[in-house]
DNA sequence: TGTACATCAGTGAACGCGCGTTCACTGATGTAC
DNA sequence: TGTACATCAGTGAACGCGCGTTCACTGATGTAC
């Protein structure tokens, strides 16, 4: 929640204001978001944020290297902003998938499908959360960890709701959510390097694994109830 | 110039041993293993193999940068050798832990304990497999993937043996082994960045998660039997 | 309205650094005769 | 036995490169009066 004046929204007067009318010999003004976009363009299956250089990003954004400092203190600051954005975007997508879930299409299965759809598509946000969690600075890893925690929390709430609706028990819902999230991300990371036709197999495996966890927690909830 | 104390001068016994010609017929100043050791020394919580430079490793080993090429084509080749070694060492440790397992201390629990012991200790091999799987070259990632597959295979065999001994069913043992392995490594990776006192909590969580998976697969095996 | 000024995102040039890699070379050791 | 030669892990020096960072500067824009 930085209070940097992010985009210049001062020209939100409704009409297409030509504020850069007199910039013929000059570069258009660049925003933080433009730089984040540039970094995003450079990220791919074989490039992680941590391997990007400041100069590369500046080049991609079309500004001089030193201009980078007008927007970010260093690449780490940009990386964290990027992770935040990636997490927010992904949660939105998975959240929508959950809301489309029905008694026929379980929450878990819908989420896995949405997840793998993102993986198979051109979506780069997923790559970020998948890869960057294990390398980089501490602040960096904490940012990824925080996003994962958001996922877990949202899944936890959904699992509890689901257990009440279906009248099935659930043992340690927080741990179930964590196990599912971590497992999906770990499997997703390996799936990323596989050709598309093998990913379907991974998705199948993931679903079975999650089913084991769900059956496990339900069974344990029952014996818990019995024991009490 | 520094003089280095060189170990393993095995042919200094005066006896001529012709077959040694192929390996090191002459006094070996530095070996491949020495370079791998040097790289290992440089790896830590905040340094992954992929961030090591050729010059750093040469410096640590006490040789000139260009001498590196006498032993490895590039850093990637060294990294793969290091991953192989790490995997072999870890499997040995976990394997020994499994053999110490008894009816009172389950295979899963013993393995998790051995795993976390390595994590808490100064053991750097674990760091390698934990961190390097998501970055680096393809050959690099494949090497880590191969080690993980070894773990899964060994665990699978143990799980089946255990299921027969205890006369409990097991559904899709290969997937169970995979889920457990991936989950443990994923959780371990996040535990690495935590202070020691919080790691005990992670270990507790890991054990509960694995219990859910095991209960799940057993329950599913039962309903499978019933269904058939 | 015009003028003066402050602001600040942009700039080119330069720096020192560590990097991977190349080259021709050295000298200890093993082999052939 | 000695001599000549081959082998090869080591070496110092040098290269060109991309990097992060600094500096003084530019000029468009908004504001005060």
For B22, residues 6+ apart whose C-beta sits below 8 A from its C-beta are: none
Number of Cβ within a 10 Å radius of residue A173: 18
Question: Measured between CB atoms, which of A138, A183, A217 is closest to B182?
Answer: A183
Kindly report, residue by residue over A61-77, the tens digit of the pLDDT: 999 999 999 999 999 99
- Bases of chain D with protein Cβ within 7 A: 8-14, 18-24, 27-30
- List, for residues A167-223, the tens digit of each pLDDT value: 999 999 999 999 999 999 999 999 998 999 999 999 999 999 999 999 999 999 998
For chain A, the structural domain boundaries read: 83-222
pLDDT of amino acid B225 = 63
Question: What is the C-alpha separation between A140 and A155, in angstroms, rounded?
Answer: 23
pLDDT of amino acid B132 = 86
Using CA atoms, how far apart are residues B176 and B162, in angstroms rounded to an integer?
Answer: 13
Give backbone dihedrals phi and psi of B217, rounded to 5 degrees, phi first. Answer: -65, -35
Provide the token pair at B205.
């969580």
Mean pLDDT of A136-148: 90
Q: Find which of B53, B139, B201, B212 to mutate to test the A interface (most A CBs within 10 Å of its CB).
A: B212
The string over B76-108, giving b where at least 16 C-beta atoms fall within 10 Å of a residue's C-beta and e elsewhere, is bebbbbbbebbbebbeebbeebbeebeeeebbb
A70 is near strand C: CB distance < 7 Å: yes
Distance CA A18, CA A22 (A): 9
Could you please report the per-residue DSSP string of A4-38? ---S-GGG-SSS---TTTT-TTSPPP--HHHHHHH
Contact between A186 and B190 using a beta-carbon 8 Å cutoff: no
Average pLDDT score, chain A:
85
> Stretch B104-110: mean pLDDT, rounded?
79
**What mean pLDDT comes out for the span B179-199?**
94
Nearest CA in chain A to B47: A135
- For chain C, which bases have at least one atom within 7 A of a protein Cβ? 8-14, 18-24, 28-31
Instruction: Find the Å distance, CA of residue A22 to C1' of nucleotide C2.
Output: 20
- Fold that domain B83-222 belongs to in CATH: Tetracycline Repressor; domain 2 (1.10.357)
- The minimum CA-CA distance between B53 and chain A, rounded to whole Å, is 13
The CA–C1' separation of A6 and C6, in angstroms, is 21
Nucleotide nearest to B64 (CA to C1'): D11
């Amino acid at each position: 929640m930085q209070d940097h004046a992010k985009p210049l929204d001062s020209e939100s007067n409704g009409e297409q204001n030509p504020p850069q009318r007199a910039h013929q010999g000059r570069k258009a003004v660049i925003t933080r978001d433009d730089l984040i976009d540039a970094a995003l363009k450079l990220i791919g299956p074989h490039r992680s944020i941590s391997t990007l250089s400041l100069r590369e990003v500046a080049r991609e954004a079309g500004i001089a290297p030193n201009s980078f400092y007008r927007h970010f203190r260093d690449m780490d600051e940009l990386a964290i902003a990027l992770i935040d954005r990636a997490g927010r975007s992904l949660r939105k997508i998975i959240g929508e998938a959950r809301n489309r879930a029905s008694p026929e299409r379980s929450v878990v299965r819908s989420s896995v499908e949405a997840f793998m759809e993102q993986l198979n598509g051109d979506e780069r946000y997923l790559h970020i959360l998948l890869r960057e969690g294990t390398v980089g600075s501490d602040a960096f890893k904490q940012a990824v960890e925080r996003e994962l925690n958001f996922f877990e929390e949202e899944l936890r709430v959904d699992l509890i709701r689901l257990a009440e609706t279906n009248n099935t028990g659930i043992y340690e819902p927080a741990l179930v959510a964590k196990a599912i999230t971590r497992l999906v991300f770990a499997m997703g990371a390996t799936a990323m390097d596989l050709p598309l036709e093998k990913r379907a197999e991974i998705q199948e495996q993931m679903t079975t694994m999650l089913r084991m966890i769900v059956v496990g927690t339900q069974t344990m909830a029952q014996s818990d109830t019995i024991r009490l």
